[in-house]
Amino acid sequence: MFICSGNICRSPLAQAVFEHLSAEAGLSGEFEIESSGTGAWHVGEQADSRMRKTASAHGVKLNHRSRQLHREDLSDYHLLLTMDHHNHRDTMALARTPEEREKVRLFRDFDPAGTGDVPDPWYGGLDGFEDVWQIVKRTCESLLKNLSSE
Ligand code: 4NP
């Protein structure tokens, strides 16, 4: 489960990239891949047009509709990866057990080239969306390697 704030930029991109990479690796069906937002402002909406444009320029199509993270997702999913530390705090607040808390990680814990937050591109220009693409692409590659070796 990939988690951001609005579920219209970063986490739907991570979902689509991870789906794309796992299909390329012949691992479709091995993972239950989803994304959600800690906030409900954009529920039901398609991903932001700037995010869709950037992804499409790299050959990835976004088909997700925004949905909010629910408490049950913490028991239903094995790994919940948050795009930034605000999302991490908000997701942890929904966890009811130590097991659930252990499943919540920062997405960039899997980034081979950096740590911390995936910057929120919402208020910025198109170059911010390209930066998000680069971070999400290499982190999803590393995540897939990591999970498929388990
Ligand atoms: P996301 O970006 O969390 O990557 O989907 C955002 C989208 C919308 C808002 C904030 C972040 N918003 O405040 O509406």
pLDDT of residue 5: 98
Local structure of residue 60 (DSSP, 8 states): -
Per-residue pLDDT tens digits for 34-54: 999 999 999 999 999 999 999
Tell which one of 2, 4, 5, 54 to mutate to probe ligand 1, the residue whose CB is within 8 A of the most ligand atoms. 5
Model confidence at 59: pLDDT above 80: yes
Quote the ligand 1 centre to 122 CA distance (angstroms): 6
Tell which one of 4, 36, 54 to mutate to probe ligand 1, the residue whose CB is within 8 A of the most ligand atoms. 4
Residue 78: CATH number of its domain: 3.40.50.2300
**Total tally of structural domains belonging to the chain:** 1
Residue 8 falls inside a structural domain: yes
pLDDT of residue 129: 98
Residue 150 falls inside a structural domain: no
Residue 72 falls inside a structural domain: yes
Per-residue pLDDT tens digits for 66-96: 999 999 999 999 999 999 999 999 999 999 9
Using a CB cutoff of 8 Å and minimum separation of 24, what contacts does 91-100 make? 91/3, 91/38, 94/69, 94/70, 96/71, 100/74, 100/75
127 lies in which domain range?
Answer: 2-142
Residue 20 falls inside a structural domain: yes
Local structure of residue 118 (DSSP, 8 states): P
Residue 86 falls inside a structural domain: yes
Residue 148 falls inside a structural domain: no
Per-residue pLDDT tens digits for 5-20: 999 999 999 999 999 9
Q: Determine the 3-state secondary structure of 40 from DSSP.
A: coil
10 noted as active-site residue: yes
pLDDT of residue 149: 85
pLDDT of residue 134: 98
52 noted as active-site residue: no
Residue 120: φ, ψ to 5°: -75, 115
pLDDT of residue 150: 74
Q: Per-residue confidence at 148, pLDDT binned at 50, 70, 90?
A: very high
H runs (alpha helix) in the chain: 10-24, 49-57, 73-76, 85-92, 98-102, 126-148
Q: Report the percent of the chain where pLDDT is more than 70.
A: 100
Which residues have CB under 8 Å from 134's CB, separation 6+? none
Mean pLDDT computed over every residue of the chain: 97
Residue 61 falls inside a structural domain: yes
Residue 87 falls inside a structural domain: yes
120 noted as active-site residue: yes
Q: Report the percent of the chain where pLDDT is more than 90.
A: 95
